Amino acid sequence: MRRGVCYNIIINLNMDMLPIIICKDLRAELTAAIEHVRPDRLFVLTDTTTLKCCWPKIKDFSALSQAQMITIQPTDEAKTLDTLAQVWTALSEGGGTRHSLLVNLGGGMVTDLGGFAASTFKRGIAYINIPTTLLSMVDAAVGGKTGINFHGLKNEIGVFNAAFTVLLDTQFLCTLDAENICSGYAEMLKHGLISDMEHLAELLRFDLSNPDLRQLQNMVARSVAVKEHVVTEDPHEHGIRKALNLGHTAGHAFESLALAENRTVLHGYAVAWGLICELYLSTVRMGFPQSLLRQVVNFVKENYGSFTITCKEYDRLFDFMTHDKKNTAGIVNFTLLANVGDIRINQTANKDEIFEMLDFFRENI
């Protein structure tokens, strides 16, 4: 893929599906996708935020004139079984059949939950993702992972099931506040770490406090390409797709603790903090360069601030990590790096090592 191309990029994730498209003309691309499916009923899922900020950009598309709206509450706290049941109920009461289509318009919570709802309603209906946040564009909406939180654990229930197509339109970036730009950017930083030094250096140079959205659009294409390459090689996370979990074992623990304590933490912030933890483990265990660790620590500290924890919470964080889906027999499993792009999956750490990792986080962020 040629660097710097923002539009008309077509990425094949699944040959049975239409490609992921970074759109030049969202109206035309969405119309073509809907015509391809030829649904008997069309539904659009939003949360209250995207209903207000994003739906007006597409509501006048003729292809959506017969769409039935389903609206749920925003934020990760709503990514629950009750909300899922609300979507199932709306699909059923709206006359949905196995030949219906659900369009998910929103961030990662909407695409995760909407994808799971579509994958399970009537044993599976087609769905299209139109991600509206940077996080969902470069991560949540791409790759076929769907799910909900359950019993206080992130994405505990879900399935692998790719969207019929994913339509990425960077016009929606203009609707985001600074925190949501930062949240999505953390996943891009992860993609840079698992790819190559040139990509990582570009990400670390970017002025996230005053983002150039045109430059960011170009970087989105490159970031999506990194994820596409990994997912194509390993659609169901049996091997190299675990590279995408970098920062997420610790990050999901931070998120779960925040949920339990009613602290508002965006997913990308938790991933950024998780990257610090797991790059420290990478340095200790794999020889990841200390100079690069320090660069990433400085970038995260400057742009994401800190997540306050005390040593009294270490046991609870460790418990959250033991429940992570990536584990085997309760042994905490990490993706680590020996260097940028030098990925080491299925790495374990004991309780003492994890507590030392948390010490490093507290002392440096």
Q: Which pLDDT tens digit goes with each residue over 249-267?
A: 999 999 999 989 988 899 9
The alpha carbon dihedral of 263, 75, 144, 99 has a sign of: positive
pLDDT, residue 182, reads 96
Q: β-strands 20-22, 9-11: how paired?
A: antiparallel
The predicted pLDDT at position 329 comes to 67
- Structure confidence at residue 18 (pLDDT): 52
| Interior/surface letters 200-221, b for 16+ CB within 10 angstroms, e for the rest | bebbeebebeebeeeebbbbbb
Confidence tier at 340 by pLDDT (50, 70, 90): very high
Question: Is pLDDT at 16 greater than 70 in this prediction?
Answer: no
Has residue 112 got a pLDDT over 60? Answer: yes
Domains of the chain from N-terminus onward: 9-176 (3.40.50.1970), 179-364 (1.20.1090.10)
Q: Which residues of 166-186 are buried (b: 16+ CB within 10 A; e: fewer)?
A: bbbbbebbebbeeebbbbbbb
Which of the residue ranges 58-67, 102-111, 138-147, 296-305 would you say has the lowest mean pLDDT?
A: 138-147
Do the Cβ atoms of 81 and 148 come closer than 8 Å? yes
Arithmetic mean of pLDDT, 331-339: 93
Sign of the CA dihedral running 186, 289, 243, 196:
positive
Structure tokens at 249: 């074992």
Contact 59, 52 (CB under 8 A): no
DSSP-derived secondary structure letter, 56 = G
Helix ranges restricted to H, 41-173 = 48-53, 81-93, 108-120, 134-135
Residue 90 makes CB contacts below 8 A (sequence gap 6+) with 43, 68, 70
Q: Averaged over 56-77, what is the pLDDT? A: 96
Q: Which residue has the higher pLDDT, 79 or 214?
A: 79
Least confident range of 17-31, 77-91, 255-269, 293-307: 17-31
Angstrom distances, CA of residue 260 to CA of 76, 181, 254, 302, 341: 12, 25, 10, 26, 34
Contact in structure between 365 and 273 (CB atoms under 8 Å): yes
In eight-state DSSP terms, residue 77 is: G
Looking only at Cα atoms, what is the longest distance across the chain?
59
CB neighbour list of residue 69: distance below 8 Å, 6 or more residues apart:
43, 44, 46, 51, 55
Helix (H) or strand (E) holding 346: strand 342-348
Mean predicted confidence (pLDDT) in 187-197: 96
Confidence of residue 334 (pLDDT cuts 50, 70, 90): very high
